[in-house]
Structure 1
Amino acid sequence: MPEQRGSDGRFVESVSDDDILFFFETGDRPFYGTAEVSENFDLSNEQAKRRLEALSDAGELEQIRMNDRQIAWWHERDVVVLRPETDGYSAHDTQVGVASAGDTRAEALRSLAEAIEVAEEDDLDGTALTELEDSDTDGCADGNPF
């Protein structure tokens, strides 16, 4: 995508900083290279590098130089990411791995809280059963712990 300049001579950004940060916050990996960001947002490598460096200078991204030509970029992840959408808000819990949506921020977060509770109940039910099965027979020939 060629860079375009606005009437003031500055480059017009087709991708917001929030879009780039959301990519890092919700991506499959905790870090990405410049080329991956470039490809994901259809930016030139130079555009992507300039944007990532600006986000790093602002304290939004961290970076480490892997060698003379490669830099790994990452964003410290929040557990919950709330993002405005065209029809409301989406909320993602990156720790539990659930997401929800709502017309308002509060609705999206309430819906996310309910989804987290369901996920944790499902997990606790399975964990509790496994722990019970393990404790029933530990060290007891007849399977009776008493």
Structure 2
Amino acid sequence: MSDPTLRSAAGYDLTPPSEGQRVALEADLNAEERRVLLAHGTEAPFCGSLLDEKRAGVFGCRLCGLPLFRAGTKFESGTGWPSFHAPVDEAHIRAVRDTSYGMVRIETRCARCDSHQGHVFPDGPPPTGLRYCINSVALSFTPMGEPLPDPLQRGDGLAR
């Protein structure tokens, strides 16, 4: 019998949360996190708590804990939001065409829980040329050496 679990190349379980798990995860959000993660909002520029975070570690999805970006891919873009040039694993980010506000952009969502993270633009630094412009409230930061959040209790909490 094959394992029905969806796994990324990095080894993380990408199976969406059950309805009960989603309700529990969403109950832990504050109003601003709810507005950004669930209603596809954007936090004000230059005010996010992770904008100036420079320690080694991992930035994960605030809702489900999936690791999204390593600190080594973060760069100063001058845009007012944390910016990264590559995800931990491309399978961890879902790209969705966004035509809101009279423009065409690529929205980024967590591939596991489908929460809104931000947008990706083709004006980033080498080696990818991409700029993942992400809302601080959509992320949680785990310093290097500490266990990653594992709110779904899938055994993904080991630092990698």
Please indicate the TM-score interval, normalised by the length of the shorter structure: under 0.3
Q: Could you tell me the TM-score, scaled by structure 1's length? A: 0.25
Q: Could you tell me the TM-score, scaled by structure 2's length? A: 0.24
Larger radius of gyration: 1
Give the structure, 1 or 2, with the largest relative contact order (CA under 8 Å, sep 6 or more): 2
More strand by share: 2
More helix by share: 1
